[in-house]
Amino acid sequence: MNHYFKPKYECAIRILLAKLEVINAELSIELSRTVITGMSGRLKTWESIEKKAARKGYGKADEKALAAICDIAGVRAVCAYMDDVYRVAKALQKHQDLRIVRIKDYLKMPKSSGYRSLHLIIRFTTDDLKDITAEIQLRTIALDFWACLDHQLRYKRGKQEAGLIGEELREYSSVVADLDRKMVELRNRIAAI
């Protein structure tokens, strides 16, 4: 991205990762176990920004288009358990320097592809990063496994090609979600012993 505010997006990613580190440390002490098992951040490539701008009906990836793309800065936290995903989201809500402007709960309402994840669209409120938006994706280890393979196998392919394997991937996504529920139940049963 050869745009003057690229450093701001990079900075946003670093700040969000630092926040997630702190949240992980606090929750891990509180619950005596690791809550976030992995995290990563990425700046959307210029090619991907241009494609998304076109998909959203913008002729070119100008400032207006960039403002409409919420995931130029993207951060992902992979959690051990399903309920941890909501714990992390709740902890992020307490941060004064950002505002959660939109929540896309694809855990409660999975996408037709079978994609399950909790997306928080945040906007920074501090002067230095004012109006910089970012997307935080929160999901479990199991759902991350599904999403990564789906991304490779289907997500970025043409519709016809993707259609052939879509049903099978949707089914596996339900299997993964069931497994996540069972793991929470098992953890709770063990804790009650």
Among the listed ranges 12-20, 29-37, 110-118, 122-130, the one in contact with ligand 0O2 (CB under 6 A) is 110-118
Per CB under 6 A, does 104 bind ligand 0O2? Answer: yes
Phi, psi of 130 (to 5 degrees): -50, 130
Q: Which residue has the tokens 């501090």?
A: 126
Q: How far is the CB of 167 from ligand 0O2 (least distance, A)?
A: 13
Between 142 and 147, CB nearer to ligand 0O2: 147
Q: Which is nearer to ligand 0O2, 27 or 116 (CB)?
A: 116
Per CB under 6 A, the list member of 119, 122, 176, 177 interacting with ligand 0O2 is: 119
61 binds ligand 0O2 (CB under 6 A): no
By CB under 6 A, tell whether 35 contacts ligand 0O2.
Answer: no
Residue 88 CB-density burial (10 A; 0-12 exposed, 13-18 middle, 19+ buried): buried
**Contact positions vs ligand 0O2 (CB under 6 A):** 44, 48, 52, 70-71, 104, 111, 113, 115, 119, 147, 150-151, 155
